[in-house]
Amino acid sequence: MKISMVSEHASPLAALGGVDAGGQNVHVAALSSSLAKRGHNVTVYTRRDDPDLPARVHVAPGLTVIHADAGPARHIPKDGLLPYIGALADGIGADWAGNVPDLVHAHFWMSGLAAIQAARRASGADPVPVVQTFHALGSVKRKHQGPADTSPAARAWLEPWVGRTADWVIATCPDEVFELKALGISKSKISIAPCGVDLALFDGAAEPEPRPRTHRILSVGRLVPRKGVDLVIQALPLLARAGFDDVELLIVGGSGDALTLEDDPEARRLRMLAKELGVEDRVTLRGQVPRDAMPGIFHSADAVVCAPWYEPFGIVPLEAMACGVPVVAAAVGGLRETVVHQETGLHVPPHDPEAIADAVARLLADPALRARMGSAGTRRARSRYSWDRVAADTEKAYWSVLASGLSRHATEGLEPLEGTAL
């Protein structure tokens, strides 16, 4: 198949861990290269956010990344990108001229807008089907973040419109299917393909980096409040009370674009909290770490703690599991599916530092339990979450769309970018 991927803000080539870079970058990069390895021809369209980026990058046989001009060639937070989505659709359409793909797969709601627009314009006798993966949903974000949600107001109606208009929607976990149905998206065109983990990178082979204290617990992710790193800091004094006072919390994750950790408000807030609780000597903020360094870091930890308020999927627990490290995870979103309670880790209620401390204490007290859960995690990651398997599930969805000959978006509904205050 000739496949176009659209990932407006998350370039597969981008460094990971910044405020707007994370799981989606990893997902688009790994899925695209696995599909290319399976013999497909994949082109990823992403917005040019640096004037020096080449227009076209041949990444591997069958895999090309195109930097489309859409708005200023500098980093713009994703919540400010809607005005430039029409230009992104133009760029995709121009590249397709005379050579349309078999289908287009959009990642995130705004990419869906651009994909539908480009597909409608390009469609002649054979409409280009649109497949959509949301990665995160505005309805869920609003529920958890309330007024702190900085998404454009139009997301509230454009996102469900994208879901209802796309020919197929791929959810990453059962929780997401429930949310998609609540948006009025028909279950008959939803399938599940989870995120995967790079099993070649995250394996048992990496040398653990040395750690300064008896125990180390690890938090990995973008430094944004909804990842709940503050809850893990709050668990440290509780752990000390339970007899575990020589525990380091290592926090790995990037600050905002062009910000050093010193300038980053979230990093400052976390440091301040650690100081207030008297645990600043046991909290290390490492900042953004390149991907290749991650396995050695995972291997150095007794447990990985993921305490988000909500999580559409969460690749970090899979990486920990693949490395054989047990995971303490808030029982939300995709983490309810990836982490099996009592088997590959322990679930805790969201927003609950005491439950985090209890779960971590249980793991620190019992090396045999850690080893058992670690091995079960590795088995689960290897058997269910290889990118090749995810690509095969995704490919199945593509074949269903192509076989059904559906392409509702070509004929139905309003123009996606009309009526939007651009």
Residue list 227-256, contact with ligand UDP (CB under 6 A): 252-254
Answer for which of 316, 335, 381, 410 binds ligand UDP (CB under 6 A) is 316
At 252 the three-state DSSP class reads: strand
Per CB under 6 A, the segment of 170-178, 214-222, 341-349, 400-408 that binds ligand UDP is 214-222
Nearer to ligand UDP, 117 or 219 (CB): 219
Strand partners, 413: none
Q: What are 11's two structure tokens?
A: 């370039």
Order of strands, edge to edge, in the sheet holding 247-252?
283-287, 247-252, 215-220, 303-306, 327-330, 345-348
Residue nearest to ligand UDP (CB): 22
Answer for which of 3, 4, 6, 17 binds ligand UDP (CB under 6 A) is 17
Task: Decide: is 304 part of the binding site for ligand UDP (CB under 6 A).
Answer: no
Nearest-approach distance from CB 170 to ligand UDP, in angstroms: 16
Alpha-carbon separation of residue 120 from 127, 128, 408 (angstroms) = 7, 8, 10
Residue list 348-367, contact with ligand UDP (CB under 6 A): none
Nearest-approach distance from CB 404 to ligand UDP, in angstroms: 31
- Closest listed residue to residue 117, CA positions, set 76, 78, 87, 73: 87
> Which stretch of DSSP H or E encloses residue 378?
helix 367-384
209 secondary structure, DSSP code: P
Strand partners, 103: 3
Per CB under 6 A, the segment of 60-68, 141-149, 307-315, 366-374 that binds ligand UDP is 307-315
Spatial neighbors of 117 by CB under 8 A, at least 6 apart, are: 85, 86, 89, 93, 415, 416, 417
Answer for which of 166, 247, 315, 401 binds ligand UDP (CB under 6 A) is 315
Strand partners, 220: 252
Residue list 267-296, contact with ligand UDP (CB under 6 A): 288-289, 291, 294
Nearer to ligand UDP, 91 or 334 (CB): 334
Tell me the one-letter amino acid at 161.
W
288 secondary structure, DSSP code: -
In angstroms, the CA 32 to CA 111 distance is 16
Nearer to ligand UDP, 253 or 377 (CB): 253
Nearer to ligand UDP, 31 or 122 (CB): 31
Site for ligand UDP, rule CB under 6 A: 16-17, 22-24, 26, 220-222, 252-254, 288-289, 291, 294, 313-316, 319
